[in-house]
Structure 1
Amino acid sequence: MTHEFKTIIKEYGNAKVAHLKCVLATVVDLDGSSYRKPGVRMLIREDGVMIGAVSGGCVEKEVLFQAQSVFENKTTKLMTYDGRFRLGCEGILYILLEYFSPNETLVNTFNSVIEKRRSFKLCTSYKKEYGVLNNYGTHITLNSKRYAFNENTTEHEDALHFDQTMQPCQRLLLIGGEHDAKQLAHFGIGMGWEVNIAVTPKENKTISDFPGIDALLNQEPEDFDIDIIDNNTAVILMTHSYVKDLKYLMRLKNSHPMYLGILGPIKRREKLLSELLEYDMDIDLDFIENIHGPAGLNIGAETPQEIAISILSEILTVIRKTQPVKLRDKLSTI
């Protein structure tokens, strides 16, 4: 959810420039089941524009209506939405609406935390009571310092709390700049991930060749900076050059991505790993075991777009530690 909150802060800045008030809606509790879970947030501007969503689209109109009193009075309130009678979702959502006016220090510190890929914490205080909740709301902890989303938010001894630790945004690092990398980047951006693409100087690529990505890394494989790879980074090796792939693997062998995938058939992967082991007999075998090649799930993908979906699906199963299965065959809750 980090990327969603990152977008909220960005859009709040745009609203502030336009002199538009904002309200933050947070799902703080849930009885039963719902399309989205507690912790999801959306921003409502006083001109009716909504950034994000707290459901599949059915609750938002009611949230917009309920937010009007918060715009007028700057007073926090709790609203409920009973999906049992309206949606058939068998759940009651408890949504806190608070006036959203973070100060400049908060915004600047938040942007620095995001840039440095650090975690942060959100703590929303509330009571499970419909109506006005004076001075309840959200605090954010950035670099061990707490900030309130508006100046009226205080601590309450009788409050319930919804706490979240937000990890850095998922990063997708694509090593290779061919057409299929553009497709994979497009889908990764659509998922809210930070997308970096690595190419070599001889490829003569610019960041404009990959619309929407966060960074283009222009280095030779031997000079590639593996320090940018953390445990929230998924790496796909897709240069379409055996020699380049081998050079990058030699460089990546001391990194610890959450996922490392290689494009190409099984025979190509085995040859790459065999040569890698010949080059370095002391290589960590966990690194070898954690390589996914060919990258992706077997969903019958043929086109570059379908292959991108296949790869991203496998990355999600690794991140979430799940086994892919048809939902109709899943006996437990989704």
Structure 2
Amino acid sequence: MKELIDIVAAYERAVKTGVKTALATVVLVEGSAYRRAGARMLITEDGQLTGAISGGCLEGDALRKARMVILQQEPLLVTYDTMDDDDAKLGVGLGCNGIIHILIEPITGGLTNPISLLKATIANKSYAVFVTLFNLENRKARQPGSCLFIADGQIISAGIEKLPYKNELLEDANNALNTQRSVVTGYEGCTAFIECVKPLISLVILGAGNDAIPLTEFAAVLGWHITVIDGRPNYVTADRFPLPHQLLVAKPGQIVQNIAINEWTAFVLMTHNYNYEFSFLKDLLPLDPSYIGILGPKKKLERMLSELEESGTNITERNLETIHGPVGLDIGSETAEEIALSIVAEIKAVFSERNGHPLKYKTTVIHST
């Protein structure tokens, strides 16, 4: 999602200066590649690149082809075979052992260009589907490109009304939204990359001490939506926390009603104030959030849970699964920055449904979809 945000911002800067742009999208990967389908890069006519479609090996050639796309104002499907010697001469052969299909589209004005669809994807607070059509069988044929955005209660289409397979495409897109899985499927002369896009992670940090500052910095690099809450007005300031989207001065009982909570909200409790965190956790647990990280020793968490039960709070098995205390992955953290790194890594692993183990011990492919 951070990549999409950066691409939209770069596009808006280009529009202000009158610079023409094109969008490159990885629409299909056969075998192994550095980036999988859904990776995007905005290319300007003066050579500025935002986002990435590879580890750096494809960008130079993609830039040359994007300039041609901008000039001709016609989408182009480009295929790179990292196992092919000729492609290796271009600097493509990095041992990825795969075939990468990239669609490059010129960005024109209008309400339904690819950037408009990306904006809708970013603004959406739940899962969304983004559809890109391309002709894999005949690369010289017309390449339809980005054509559809679907989220709960919202549909934005661009040129699918006259497609003979419109109803089938809509059905497949809705199925992808319901199953929360991306698919590549074929129709009459076209292939569709039906991409299910995850919503942005929202990080709510309870505590505005110095150790919370690097946590906001790491989260900001990832593009997460950040909220910092504390009861001390002189701590929750824009000077101390310039990166969060929301700063709140609040008592424990006032917090829950002042923040939006969904399944992609992560909470980290790091106030170093037992009573403050106890009161907040009591209000938070019934809402069943997906992630609660609590800074401090395990004994602190055990005492807190015990006292919550004694006070009448029902602590479910689901609550116990989503509470992470001590918070973070075990990477030997000592400093505030290292602790922040371990916390962000754990949150990312939880929401990606991964275990945080070293990739060297993984016996299956890194990207299963």
**TM-score, normalised to structure 1's length?**
0.90
Q: % of aligned pairs identical?
A: 34
Question: Which whole-Å CA distance do the structure 1 matches of 2:252 and 2:214 have between them?
Answer: 22
1:145 aligns with 2:171: no
Match of 1:80 in 2: 79
Q: Go from structure 1 to structure 2 and tell me whether the alpha carbon gap of 1:6 and 1:119 turns closer, same or farther (over 3 Å shift).
A: farther
The question of 1:213 aligning with 2:244 is answered yes
- Name which of 94, 101, 105 aligns with 1:94: 101
C-alpha distance in structure 1 between counterparts of 2:19 and 2:361, whole Å: 47
> Which residue number in structure 2 is paired with residue 237 of structure 1?
269
Give the corresponding residue for 2:174: none
**Using the alignment, how far apart are the partners of 2:117 and 2:72 within structure 1?**
28
SS at match of 2:277: helix
175 and 108 in structure 1: CA distance in 2 versus 1, 3 angstrom threshold: farther
2:43 and 2:287 mapped to 1: Cα distance?
41
Which residue of the partner structure matches residue 290 of structure 1?
A: 322
| Residue-pair matches, total | 331
Aligned to 1:271: 303
Give the 3-state SS of the residue equivalent to 2:239 in structure 1: helix
What SS does the aligned partner of 1:225 have? helix
| Aligned partners of 1:76 and 1:132 also within 8 Å | no
Q: Which residue of 1 aligns with 2:18?
A: 19
* Structure 1 residue ranges, 4+ long, deviating more than 6 angstroms after superposition: 105-110, 151-154
For 2:39, the equivalent position in structure 1 comes to 40
Please give the secondary structure, in 1, of the residue aligned with 2:267: strand
The answer (yes or no) to whether the contact 2:229–2:236 under 8 Å persists in 1 is: no
Following the alignment from structure 2 to structure 1, what is the Cα–Cα distance between the partners of residues 355 and 122?
30
Aligned partners of 1:75 and 1:132 also within 8 Å? no
- In the alignment, is residue 184 of structure 1 matched against residue 215 of structure 2? yes
After TM superposition, the structure 1 stretch with the greater mean CA deviation from structure 2, 27-36 or 220-229, is: 220-229
CA distance in 1, matches of 2:94, 2:161: 33
In the alignment, is the contact (CA less than 8 A) between 1:229 and 1:256 conserved in 2? no
One-letter code of the match for 1:72?
Answer: L
TM-score by length of 2: 0.82
Kindly provide the CA deviation profile for residues 191-238 of structure 1, in whole angstroms up to 9, marking residues without a partner as x.
221211112254452233212221112221111135511101111011
Structure 2 counterpart of 1:5, one-letter code: L
CA-CA distance at 1:29 after TM superposition? 0.9
Aligned counterpart, 2:171: none
How far has the Cα of 1:63 moved from its partner? Answer: 0.7
Q: Which residue of 1 aligns with 2:349?
A: 317
Q: In the alignment, is the contact (CA less than 8 A) between 2:80 and 2:99 conserved in 1?
A: yes
Correspondence 1:333 to 2:365: yes
Gaps (5+ residues) in structure 2? 165-187
Q: Which amino acid aligns with 1:33?
A: S
AA paired with 1:182?
I
Q: Which runs of 5+ in 1 are unaligned?
A: none
Distance 1:73 1:154, change over 3 A: farther
Return the alpha-carbon distance in structure 1 between the equivalents of residues 109 and 309 of structure 2: 53
Match of 1:199 in 2: 230
Distance 1:10 1:214 in 2: 16
Which residue does 1:7 correspond to in 2? 6
Find the aligned partners of 1:278 and 1:92 in 2 and give their Cα distance.
59
Partner Cα separation in structure 2 for residue 198 and residue 188 of structure 1: 15
Offset of 1:158 from its aligned partner? 1.4
- CA distance in 2 between counterparts of 1:289 and 1:91 reads 38
Q: 1:119 to 1:71 in 2, by over 3 A?
A: same
